[in-house]
A and B are shown apart, each in its own frame.
Chain A
């Protein structure tokens, strides 16, 4: 670790006001160094939203190299930290996060974590998977999201629809066609006006209206 890296990390550890913490985290994130990863992950649990957002930005910029440490350091006791980590995983979109996102989307007790995981499940860079596992992985994500789309919490259903739309747009017709059909079915029973609107939008994205000459 270089002198500069050590100083940037120390500045985060020694920040004595919320504002200084945010500034120090921003500086560390901008340095774009792998040495920063454990510190950035720790910041997700400091209960300082400004600092956490800056740390998520830094982790997302670092990309795939940050995925294994984020997965290893997921905080089982702090749902705030878990929601930020899940948002970082969703934005990096590395399919090694699939199992964690599936678990979080279905079974986490914190709605913020579930919402972030639903969106993340749709956004993964599926082409990084081996061709022989691609379809079964996408099917798993699809089935989980379709079940979650019946959750009692409107915001979780909303997030599931966002995830389904993204997944369909990144999938072949084996996944895309059933999602489009299921969205039509969901629209018939959905009572919540916001979720209905989001289903309409997803359907439009999957069946772009034909342009008339």
Chain B
């Protein structure tokens, strides 16, 4: 077991930008896979890198035994980090890819890119409702990447998706309920949904408590700060969740001055060091 890293950067990169871009077409598919991850990790915003990653979204050569597309997954994840809206149409195409993990990566990245063209295609993945989105037998996921989709719809402030997301707050899978509650809070501002996540912090399963903690961090809901600090979860996860609340609260203050809210959250973070 290793500790969760809170680092946003790691040690000096081993590749150059030119090498990484060239490696996306390397004969060795493992080098392509690594290069796509690397370009995202180090946020290489070079337009040539973006073009090459967009091309990699239609790669046919790197396949898993189950028919998955590892390079497409990494390229989709990287494009979310690079912030170039040119990737949006191809990422939208990826939402219909046969590989669940490509769909999931694309859904996440479309939320990060903050482009409202993604809203309708994302909503389409939830269109069958809870009935169409159950656990796939033998696989660790649902039919569609509902959690990532709801997360992104929340980030995109897609209020038109409220009626579609609401039923997922009663989904049989707990983490899906949390993702729905998180999005519902972001879209409606109703404390009821954030309070559901706070209640989840008292659950029996540590992994689920971590998920609820991270969802609360994303809501920025200030009344959750104390519950986060006291939750029976490792301090590293609590610090990350409180960071989310702190940054949301900093964003609320136009002057850039410290407020009672930000001071309160920092006080809690100090106590968790």
Residues of A participating in the B interface, judged by any CB pair closer than 8 Å = 49-50, 79, 110-112, 115-116, 118-119, 152-156, 158-159, 162, 192-194, 197-198, 200-201, 204
Given contacts A111-B5, A111-B236, 11 further A-B contacts (CB under 8 A): A49-B234, A112-B3, A112-B235, A112-B236, A115-B235, A152-B11, A153-B7, A155-B236, A192-B8, A194-B269, A201-B266
Q: Which residues of A contact B247 (CB under 8 A)?
A: 193-194
Q: Is B181 an interface residue (CB 8 A)?
A: no
Q: A111-B6, A112-B3 are in contact. Are A155 and B239 (CB under 8 A)?
A: yes
Total CB contacts across the A-B interface at under 8 A: 65
Interface size class of B (residues with CB under 8 A): 20 to 34
CB pair B273 A159 closer than 8 Å: yes
**Once bound together, how far apart are the Cα atoms of A5 and B150, in whole Å?**
56
Q: Which residues of A contact B7 (CB under 8 A)?
A: 111, 152-154
Q: Is B205 an interface residue (CB 8 A)?
A: no
Cross-chain contact of A115 among B5, B240, B258, B273 (Cβ < 8 A): B273
- The chain B residue sitting closest to A159, CB to CB, is B273
Nearest chain A CB to B79 CB, angstrom units: 21
B244-261: CB near A (< 8 Å → 1, else 0) gives 001100100000001000
Nearest chain A CB to B253 CB, angstrom units: 10
CB pair B258 A200 closer than 8 Å: yes
**Once bound together, how far apart are the Cα atoms of A201 and B262, in whole Å?**
10
CB pair B232 A118 closer than 8 Å: no
CB pair B232 A49 closer than 8 Å: yes
Can you list the 5 inter-chain pairs with the closest CB atoms, starting with the nearest?
Answer: A153-B7, A155-B6, A119-B273, A152-B9, A115-B273
Nearest chain B CB to A135 CB, angstrom units: 26
CB pair B3 A110 closer than 8 Å: yes
Cross-chain contact of B250 among A50, A79, A159, A193 (Cβ < 8 A): A193
- The chain B residue sitting closest to A118, CB to CB, is B273
- The chain A residue sitting closest to B271, CB to CB, is A119
Cross-chain contact of A154 among B8, B10, B258 (Cβ < 8 A): B8
Nearest chain A CB to B153 CB, angstrom units: 24
CB pair B263 A201 closer than 8 Å: yes
- The chain A residue sitting closest to B235, CB to CB, is A112
Q: Is B171 an interface residue (CB 8 A)?
A: no
Nearest chain B CB to A56 CB, angstrom units: 12
**Once bound together, how far apart are the Cα atoms of A156 and B3, in whole Å?**
14
Q: Which residues of A contact B11 (CB under 8 A)?
A: 152
**Once bound together, how far apart are the Cα atoms of A154 and B246, in whole Å?**
14
CB pair A194 B243 closer than 8 Å: yes
Q: A50-B232, A153-B5, A153-B6 are in contact. Are A162 and B250 (CB under 8 A)?
A: no
CB-defined A-B contacts under 8 Å, sample of 14:
A50-B232, A110-B3, A116-B273, A119-B270, A152-B9, A153-B7, A153-B8, A154-B243, A162-B273, A192-B8, A194-B247, A197-B258, A198-B269, A204-B258
**Once bound together, how far apart are the Cα atoms of A78 and B232, in whole Å?**
20
Q: Which residues of A contact B235 (CB under 8 A)?
A: 112, 115
**Once bound together, how far apart are the Cα atoms of A25 and B5, in whole Å?**
30
**Once bound together, how far apart are the Cα atoms of A110 and B2, in whole Å?**
9
CB pair A197 B3 closer than 8 Å: no
